[in-house]
Amino acid sequence: MASPTTLAAMRLLTRYLLRELLVPLFYCLSGFILLWVCLDLFSELATFQNQKLHGTDIAEYYLVSMPDVLVVVLPMALLLALLYALTNHARHHEITAIRAAGVSLWRLCLPYFSVGLTCAVALFVLNEYCAPDSAELANAILSRRLPKPPGTLPPNQVPNLGFTNARDRRQWQIGIYNVQTGAMVRPHVRWTLPDKSRNLRRPIRCSCQSCKRTC
C-alpha cells in the first residue's frame, strides 16, 4: 500500500502536469478563436452593416457560432498544447527525472489521457446538442433588424414539409407545419395499399392539434 507521502507526491505531479498542459491549451484555444473572429469580422463587416446589426448583435452572433468553431479548433489546440508541454518537459529533462523516480509511463500519461477524454466528451456534446442549432440561430440574428416581408411565417412554422413513413408506406406533404404544437395546414397523404394495386392521394381535413394516428 502506498504511503501518504507517495500519494501526496503523485497528486502534486498530476497537478503539475495538468498545469503545464492546460496553460498552453488555453492560450492556443484563445489564439485560434481570436484569429477566427478577427478574420471573419473583417470579411463579414459589410454584411453586418447591410443587415443593420448593432454591436451587441454582432457579439451574440459570434457567441452562438462558437460551437461550430470549437469543433474545428479544439483538436488542433489540444495537439499544439500537448506538443508544447512534452517538448518543454524534454528540454528540461523532466520526463527522465520522473521516470527515474519510479513513476511508470502509464502513470505519467494519465493526466494527458484525462484531458483528451474530457475534450472528446466536450466535442461530442457540442456536435450533438449545440452545433446543429448554431447556424439557424446565427441566421436569425442576421435578419432580426430587417423588416419582415409580407406573408413571412413565424419561426415555429415550416412551409412545404415532406415526410415519408416507410413502415406504413405513406408519404406526407404538409403545406405548413407548426413545430411547437404539431398542427398541420393543407396536409396530403399518399400511400400504397397492402395489395400494391394502386396509390391513393387525397387531402386530409384536420381539426386536431397534432396529426398523428387519428388523421
| Total-model pTM | 0.71
Looking at the structure, tell me whether residues 116 and 163 fall in a common domain.
no
State CA 207 to chain mean position distance: 38
Boundary of a domain, candidates 142, 170, 194: 142
Residue 210 has a pLDDT of 45
Q: At 144, is the pLDDT very low, low, confident or very high (cuts 50, 70, 90)?
A: confident
Q: In this prediction, what percent of the chain has a pLDDT beyond 90?
A: 45
**Residue 33 lies inside a defined structural domain of this protein:** yes
Measured CA to CA, the distance from residue 10 to residue 198 in angstroms comes to 74
**Residue 104 lies inside a defined structural domain of this protein:** yes
State the Rg of the chain over Cα: 28
**Residue 170 lies inside a defined structural domain of this protein:** yes
* DSSP secondary structure of 53-91: --HHHHHHHHHHTHHHHHHHHHHHHHHHHHHHHHHHHHH
The 3-state DSSP class for residue 18 equals helix
Looking at the structure, tell me whether residues 107 and 17 fall in a common domain.
yes
Looking at the structure, tell me whether residues 110 and 182 fall in a common domain.
no
**Residue 211 lies inside a defined structural domain of this protein:** no
Boundary of a domain, candidates 95, 117, 142: 142
Boundary of a domain, candidates 142, 174, 189: 142
> What is the number of structural domains in the chain?
2
Looking at the structure, tell me whether residues 45 and 96 fall in a common domain.
yes
Looking at the structure, tell me whether residues 101 and 162 fall in a common domain.
no
**Residue 32 lies inside a defined structural domain of this protein:** yes
Looking at the structure, tell me whether residues 35 and 137 fall in a common domain.
yes
Looking at the structure, tell me whether residues 29 and 52 fall in a common domain.
yes
CB-based contact 191:162 (threshold 8 Å): no
Domain hosting 91: range is 8-142
Looking at the structure, tell me whether residues 56 and 115 fall in a common domain.
yes
Residue 148 has a pLDDT of 67
pLDDT tens digit sequence for 149-169:
666 666 677 778 887 888 877
Residue 93 has a pLDDT of 93
**Residue 43 lies inside a defined structural domain of this protein:** yes
Looking at the structure, tell me whether residues 138 and 90 fall in a common domain.
yes
Looking at the structure, tell me whether residues 138 and 163 fall in a common domain.
no
What mean pLDDT, rounded, does the chain reach? 83
* DSSP secondary structure of 112-145: HHHHHHHHHHHHHHIIIIIHHHHHHHHHHHHTSS
pLDDT at residue 175 tops 90: no
Higher-confidence position of 166 and 193: 166
**Residue 151 lies inside a defined structural domain of this protein:** no
Nearest in space to 67 (alpha carbons), one of 34, 33, 115, 35 = 33
- Interval 122-144 mean pLDDT: 88
Residue 157, H or E segment:
strand 157-165
Measured CA to CA, the distance from residue 155 to residue 178 in angstroms comes to 9
Residue 177 backbone phi and psi in degrees, to 5 = -125, 130
Q: At 102, is the pLDDT very low, low, confident or very high (cuts 50, 70, 90)?
A: confident
CB-based contact 145:157 (threshold 8 Å): no
Q: At 200, is the pLDDT very low, low, confident or very high (cuts 50, 70, 90)?
A: low
pLDDT at residue 90 tops 50: yes
pLDDT at residue 58 tops 60: yes
Measured CA to CA, the distance from residue 190 to residue 204 in angstroms comes to 11
Residue type, 87: T
